[in-house]
Amino acid sequence: MTTVPLTVRDLHDLAVARLPRMAYDYYASGAEDEHTLAGNEAAWARVRLRPRCLVDVSARDLATTVLGRRVSMPVLVAPTAFQRMAHPDGELATARAAAAIGTVMTLSTLATTTLEDVAGAYDAERGAMGGRWFQLYVYRDRGITRSLVERAEAAGYDALALTVDAPFLGRRLRDVRNGFALPPGLSVANLVGHGKGAVDEARGDSGLAAYVAAMLDPSLTWRDVEWLRSITRLPVLVKGVVRADDARLAAAHGASAVVVSNHGGRQLDGAIATADALPEVVDAVRDALEVYVDGGVRRGGDVLRALALGARAVLVGRPVLWGLACDGAAGVASALGMLRAELDLAMALAGCASAGAVPRDLVAW
């Protein structure tokens, strides 16, 4: 019997044994009763595949384009915070693995490594495909936000992913019970220069909840999307959309893409699963915006379902973290490679030769 991890679930099980309890719970948990967390995965399984037969699938093309840049597969790395809790190399390891496989890495504002250092690590491995996106929050102090945008532009990032579903932090009970705080020696590296790098333990709630409440602007509106567009030459993705009307508003206010996302089930418990929200959003803006989706993607078959429902690509977060915890850059490469291999096989078995041309009638839901 092999002990080599074969699936993302295998990587998860290994990561459980390797991560400190506080770190694992931070990565794995959802809000409140975690119904949306579980629902994200379950929703993909409810989407049934309708494979075509007698189609030439002797050669499959998994490559696609995202915001005009070619990537080796429609699986991108989602922004996840505090990666150095999983491995000493943290975001640097993730960047190297994403670059080597030729896909996009999205760096979190709440990274434990500076955006400049991550850019350097990515570019050292970068080939003809891939790209770097920077995930952004809008801070109460707009000067901090503007500074982050300017740094991302100077470091050569290709797009900004604006998170819009976190006016406050969802109540993640595992973090509350653990009294979550960043371990000694780690900080929100991109904000150290602004005196905002510490996430300390807080009484009555998690340190991160207190940090977000103090730092992020809950008065954010669509006018702020226009403001962001006005201060950058980079395309802006609006991340956290689950409704058709919000997707249309994103298009009307200058976004280049939307990410159908419920923050991995970590914000509003009971929020619609992203697989269930995706068709409505795609139908609303398919001719105006590129649509991406995250949340609960654990198999290559889930990626195929997302493509059939109209997503340009998926973003994965927790699978990357489990790989990172297991073996740094090699573990991240393993996680991404598993999803790629599973997608390749699923496409062949479903009668699809190109990831860029998966028809809607491939699925029933």
Taking the C-alpha atoms of residue 341 and residue 305, their distance in angstroms, rounded to an integer, is 15
Strand 363-364 versus strand 69-71 pairing type: unpaired
CB atoms within 10 A of CB 91: 30
Q: What whole-number distance in Å separates Cα of residue 105 and Cα of residue 114?
A: 14
Distances (CA, A) of 169 to 54, 55, 116, 198, 342: 50, 48, 27, 17, 34
What domains are there in the chain, each with its CATH number?
A: 8-356 (3.20.20.70)
Q: Give me the pLDDT at residue 2, please.
A: 56
Residue with tokens 């989602």, as numbered in its chain: 78
The verdict on whether residue 142 carries a ligand-binding annotation is no
SS3 138: coil
* Residue 79 counted as an annotated binding residue: yes
State the residue for tokens 């198999």: 299
> Where does residue 31 fall: left (phi above 0), alpha (psi -120 to 50 degrees), or beta otherwise?
beta
Residues annotated as catalytic are 263
- Please give the C-alpha separations between residue 54 and each of 138, 208, 267, 346, in angstroms, as whole numbers: 51, 53, 44, 15
DSSP H helices, 57-141, are 90-101, 115-125
The pLDDT of residue 346: 99
| 354 in a known ligand binding site | no
Q: Note whether 274 and 255 are within 8 A (CB).
A: no
Q: Which tokens sit at 142? A: 């707009």
Amino acid at site 277:
A
Residue 30 in marked binding region: no
The CA distances from residue 238 to 48, 136, 275, 293, 303, in Å, are 28, 10, 17, 11, 20
Closest to 260 (Cα-Cα) out of 271, 334, 23? 271
Report the C-alpha gap between 234 and 257 in whole angstroms: 12
pLDDT of residue 143: 93
| 86 annotated as ligand-binding | no
* Tens-digit pLDDT string for the chain (365 aa): 457 899 999 999 999 999 999 999 999 999 999 999 999 999 999 999 999 999 999 999 999 999 999 999 999 999 999 999 999 999 999 999 999 999 999 999 999 999 999 999 999 999 999 999 999 999 899 999 999 999 999 999 999 999 999 998 899 999 999 999 899 999 999 988 877 667 766 555 666 767 777 788 899 999 999 999 999 999 999 999 999 999 999 999 999 999 999 999 999 999 999 999 999 999 999 999 999 999 999 999 999 999 999 999 999 999 999 999 999 999 999 999 999 999 999 999 999 999 999 999 999 97
Q: Do the annotations mark residue 80 as ligand-binding?
A: yes
pLDDT at 1: 43
> 30 is written with which tokens?
């959802």
Amino acid at 73: M
Q: Indicate the pTM of the whole model.
A: 0.96
Question: Which tokens in the block code for residue 293?
Answer: 């989706």
pLDDT for 331 equals 98
